[in-house]
Structure 1
Amino acid sequence: MVLVTAVRDYITRMLSDISGMKVLILDSQTVSIISVVFSQSELLQKEVFLVETIESGAKESMTHLKAVCFLRPTSENFQHLKKVLTNPRFGEYHLYFSNILKNSQIQILGDADEHEVVQQVQEFYADFLAIDPYHFTLNLSSNHVYMLPAVYDPSSMQQICDRMVQGISTIFLALKRRPAIRYQRTSEISRRLANELARLMYEEESHLFDFRRTEMSPLLLIIDRRDDPVTPLLNQWTYQAMVHELIGIRDNTVNIKEASKLDKAQQEVVLSSEQDSFFKANMHENFGDLGMNIKKMVDEFQQKAKSNQNIQTLEDMAKFVEHYPEYRKMHGNVSKHVTMVTEMSRIVDERKLMSVSQIEQDLACNNVGQAAAFEAVTNELNNDSMVEIDRLRLVMLYALRFEKENPQQLELLVNKLASRSASYKPGLVHTLLEQAGTDKRTGDLYGNRDLLNRARNMARGLKGIENVYTQHQPLLYQTIESIVKGRLRDVDYPFIGNHFQHGRPQDVVIFIIGGSTYEEARTVALQNASNNGTRVILGGSVVLNSAKFLSDLEEIHRLGRINTFQ
């Protein structure tokens, strides 16, 4: 059972079991959980008359309607529920919670339900955003906290850890499996999260996770974003990843504010692999192939439009009316994807990203020597048409790749960056190295430590790369390959407790503290499509693009400076 299907099944059961007109009451986070898997038209088909948030505090009484509440079991939501149940607006309340309830919370509901309007209370385990069938996120608001020492802000660290425990545990409750747990040894927060999840699954709530045993337990692997800082710094050239990098995707919605000559309806569009067949077929295609596929779609639409214009008989009109919803949907899809690609083409041309990206790929894929890399980056920094974020990313990629070689030249680049960028924060490049430099990383990021990886890189170089802009493979690719082949080293990724695993797991959930990327989600999708007997699910605290990764880094840099001066 994949993630989108799991959440859709919960929502369908929730809305189908209660007959008649309904009001759906959500909180600020369950709004997102539902919106990525269910469209508004689908909610209408389930007789949902109105959607409200529990925080809105609406006053109008509608006792003829039934309220279906889908909420996270937070203390804030229970405070809202107490007020709602003290003075109920609806005739019935059906309460569904996205996670495990505490006995004290059930007691609060019992005490507050003086009017006996609560008809049922259930736990439906969907405390995560299933943005794609094999990719989920938690949308953490303070994502930078994972880079802080635990002693810096213990309460914030605990809140982040609690939310990750809640989200990951419901993945396994939804899948009805209990995993063996491994974590990245060099990451303190990975170890802490792994221990807290093990305590929940094997001790505190062990009865909930006591599912039918299988020959091979699924694997949960918890890793730290700092082990691969390169992937979120790169420009992307496949559809979904490129949209997120250049425009931004939030809960499968894209806001194209800067695109010219757009009406308001076109400024916000949905990109969902479940609701859009063209996007599903092309989300992992590179930009060149995408352009050709969009042209085919436009040609098909024009043929359809031409045939619709040829209405001469009542029978022709009847056929047109019958197929009109499909025609309108096709029209909307064509318009949406043409707009998206047009806007991205404009940004690529404006920022000269093809030139920038070629140097990025050379730096990321170890295909260039230090002297040549220094010259290439220096030339780009001198280019007046470059925008500041592209200059910063290039210097950071150079710093990560050549951290131990000729530090004087790195300082020259950093100084040039500072002189060309009005907003550059001095020391930010060094903050990146402090957080994610070679001494802090577990994996073989550049494939130059391990003989097998060096041979693989040499073979790739000899065979040539079909597309120079998409030659990079995230470190996650190696990690998955090691899991599938049973080569993931216990010393680097130890198991928690006595729950060891021998052989190849059929199901693997990899959670990246600090955020996943759409490039990594593509790697997982291609792995699953290969049908090699192992299914991988990817999750993260947020979905990163370079802007988000840099903003998290800037916040750590700022906090570090404050701490220095105190």
Structure 2
Amino acid sequence: MKAIYFMRPTAMCVDAFINDFKPKPKYKAAYVFFTDYCPDDLFDKMKKNCAKHIKVCKEINISFLPLEAQVFTCENTEAFKSIYTPNSQDRDQTLETIANQIVTLCATLDEYPGVRYKKYSQDSALDYGNKLAELVDNKLARHYELDDNSKKKGKTQAQLLIVDRALDPVSPILHELTFQAMAYDLIPIKDNNYEYKLKDGSKKEALLNEEDELWVKLRHMHIAEVTGQIPKLVKEISANRDEKKQADGNITIGGLSQLMKKMPGFRKQMTQVIDLAEDLMSHFQKNVEKLCKAEQDLAVGADAEGQKVKDPMRMLLPVLLHPHDTTDKIRAVLLYIFSLNGTTAENLNKLIQHVKIEDESGYILNWKHLGVPILSTPSMFSFRKQPRKDRSDKETYNVSRWTPVIKDIMEDAVENKLEVKDWPYQSECPSAWNGSRAVSARQKHKGSSPDDLRSGSRLIVFVLGGVSYSEMRCAYEVTHANKSCEVIIGSTHILTPRGLLLHSTVCVCVCV
């Protein structure tokens, strides 16, 4: 009997493989497929022990998860602990593994991008992005040293930006009010499964993924717009599927009912999203709305009228005095500290006591290990916040004024406006954005419009330490606004606010 081995190129996997053939082979022959690049020492070890049994040995470059059309992850939640825990013993190995995963993504997309990274000050310990950029660039050069025609592959029209979680500590902590981000923040969704109740009291599970066209069209909308858009989107999707009989006119409730009878799949999708939207609105009206104004004022540094916040404590106090959940109070305290670029030890201790987390102060203190100023000490003077774009002319909701920093970075990168001193090249990028047609990390939907198959260059953004749903949304928004460039965003893992707080107290285990 022959055997197919599909495995990661690790010492443990290779040793297990060798054990299958020594001293007596279990199989007549082996067909080996590695998820990514196999180091020479492991390859030589296999060759030495099992060469005569191996019929095929290939590297197939799939050591990443294409989560959405423009989102990928390394599925490595432990990376947060490995990278940011002081004196971590496996930081270098973790960065090495992540670099290999990024290279397999580039290989899958057939891109050889120029690599850039966010540079911090000379005395900053935040050099993880720099280290990762160097590893990725070296591995890309090696991977593309020779192509199938034994010719060296040149750089493609793509950029790879590597950023650190410290670039924007605000976005993953805020209460975000777009549909997807809000859902994963406030509702217990596990493995993209949302549980909802039917009218008869029975429970059903909905899978929120790329196969649900209605979810895909709604997920980046503000919660205030979701329910009003559902009938319109159902009509639009049905037209794309050639299921709609009426060519013109607004869809009526009666027409919608008939449509649902003919399309049971839509009826299920509508039930799911309406139930989810109602659940989220209940959370918003009960608790979140009160938090959002204070959070937005602290994050933006100005109120809804554009007046600068002179005393952030006045924004924070109502949150602390209200019987909010402890986690919500911790989030507000962090936003307060971020707004000041660090606070005094005396003030910090008072805040910790007020929230009653003396035994769990790591929720706040451990952020310093990410390079985020918590205490306003001289050692933190070198930390400089990313300059923000003025978006005051943009129409938005008062409770949703904050824009993730990553969106500014994406826009500047697409327009070739990133400062080289802040974003140095690990290797040179192409001077012009005029590459071949961009192809997403996932297959497009059957109903994709011609705009979805955009031509132009590609920007790949990798966030070390986790990416939030609001930051994922930015990749789609910038792509939509710039038809000449597709933006893909990826990270070690996907963050929710509660998940990030858990990382900060459990994964980074040293409080000083």
Whether the TM-score (by the shorter chain) exceeds 0.5 is yes
Distance 1:182 1:115, change over 3 A: closer
* 1:298-333: CA deviation from partner (whole Å, max 9, x where unpaired): 967742455x6xxxxxxxxxxxxxxxxxx4533442
Is 1:496 paired with 2:431? no
Change (3 A) 1:108 1:166: same
In the alignment, residue 246 of structure 1 is paired with which amino acid?
Answer: L
Distance 1:78 1:258 in 2: 47
1:27-426 aligned within 5 A: 69-83=5-19, 94-106=31-43, 120-142=56-78, 143-149=80-86, 152-153=87-88, 155-186=89-120, 187-203=126-142, 206-207=145-146, 212-213=153-154, 217-247=157-187, 253-254=192-193, 256=195, 266-267=204-205, 269-273=206-210, 275-294=211-230, 302-304=257-259, 306=261, 327-350=263-286, 352-368=287-303, 369-371=308-310, 373-384=312-323, 386-403=324-341, 407=343, 411-412=346-347, 415-422=350-357, 425-426=360-361
Amino acid across the alignment from 1:496: Q
Alignment of 1:560 with 2:511, yes or no, is: yes
Deviation at 1:527?
A: 1.0
2:172 aligned counterpart, secondary structure: helix
| Pairwise CA distance, 1:541 | 1.2
Higher relative contact order (CA 8 A, sep 6+): 2
**What is the number of residues matched between the two proteins?**
451
Deviation at residue 255 of structure 1 after TM alignment: 5.2
CA separation of 1:204/1:170 partners in 2, compared to 1, >3 Å: closer, same or farther? closer
How many angstroms does 1:81 deviate by?
3.2
Distance 1:331 1:113 in 2: 56
In structure 2, C-alpha distance between the alignment counterparts of 1:491 and 1:403, rounded to whole Å: 22
- Give the drift of 1:421: 3.0
Alignment of 1:519-558 (within 5 A): 519-555=470-506, 558=509
What are the within-5 Å matches in structure 2 for residues 424-503 of structure 1? 425-426=360-361, 428-432=363-367, 435-437=371-373, 439=381, 441-444=383-386, 447=388, 453=389, 456-457=390-391, 460=392, 463=393, 465-496=395-426, 499=428, 501-503=430-432
Is the Cα–Cα contact under 8 Å of residues 178 and 223 in structure 2 kept in the other structure? yes
| Inter-partner Cα distance in structure 1 for 2:326 and 2:199 | 23
Q: Deviation at 1:125?
A: 1.2
Larger helix fraction of residues:
1
SS at match of 1:126: coil
Which residue identity lines up with residue 340 of structure 1 in the other structure?
A: L
CA distance in 1, matches of 2:288, 2:498: 15
What SS class does the counterpart of residue 99 from structure 1 fall into?
coil
Distance (whole Å) between structure 2 residues aligned to residue 84 and residue 345 of structure 1: 56
Give deviations 1:77-103, integer Å, cap 9, x for gaps: 233434556788889864432212345
- Report the secondary structure of 1:160's partner residue: helix
How far residue 432 of structure 1 moved from its aligned partner, in angstroms, is 2.9
Structure 1 equivalent of residue 448 of structure 2: none
Bigger drift between 341-350 and 169-178 goes to 341-350
SS of equivalent to 1:232? coil
CA deviation after TM superposition for structure 1 residue 231, in Å: 0.5
Deviation at 1:166, TM superposition (A): 1.2
In the aligned structure 2, how far is the partner of 1:254 from the partner of 1:423? 35
Query: Is the alpha carbon distance of 1:220 and 1:420 closer, same or farther for their aligned partners in structure 2, counting shifts above 3 Å?
Result: closer
Q: 1:96 to 1:389 in 2, by over 3 A?
A: same
Q: Which runs of 5+ in 1 are unaligned?
A: 1-62, 309-326, 448-452, 562-566
| 2:298 partner SS | helix
Name the CA distance, whole Å, in 1 between partners of 2:394 and 2:413: 27
CA distance 1:390–1:259, change in 2 (3 Å):
farther
Change (3 A) 1:256 1:74: farther
Per the alignment, residue 466 of structure 2 pairs with 515
Give 1:182 deviation, angstroms.
1.2
1-structure distance, mates of 2:32, 2:418:
43
- Give the TM-score normalised by the residue count of structure 1: 0.70
Alignment CA distance shift 1:331-1:476 (3 Å): same
Counterpart CA distance in 1 for 2:103 and 2:472 is 20
The structural deviation recorded for 1:171 is 1.2
Identity %: 18
User: What residue ranges of structure 2 are gaps of 5+ in the alignment?
Assistant: 121-125, 236-252, 374-379, 435-456
Between the aligned partners of 1:90 and 1:261, the Cα distance in structure 2 is 55
Distance 1:136 1:73, change over 3 A: same
Using the TM superposition, give the Cα deviation of residue 416 of structure 1 relative to its aligned residue in structure 2, in angstroms: 4.4
**Separation in 2 of the partners of 1:167 and 1:218?**
17
Amino acid at match of 1:466: T
Q: SS of 1:245's equivalent?
A: helix
1:178 is aligned with what amino acid? Y
Distance 1:69 1:295, change over 3 A: farther
Letter in 1 for 2:491: G
Q: Which amino acid aligns with 2:500?
A: F
SS of residue in 1 equivalent to 2:399? helix
Contact 1:395 1:414 in 2 (8 A): no
| Equivalent-residue separation in structure 1 for 2:152 and 2:198 (angstroms) | 51
| 1:132 to partner: Cα distance | 1.0
Counterpart AA for 1:547: R
* SS of residue paired to 1:361: helix
1:424-459: CA deviation from partner (whole Å, max 9, x where unpaired) = 6336534435621374645525x3xxxxx4xx25xx
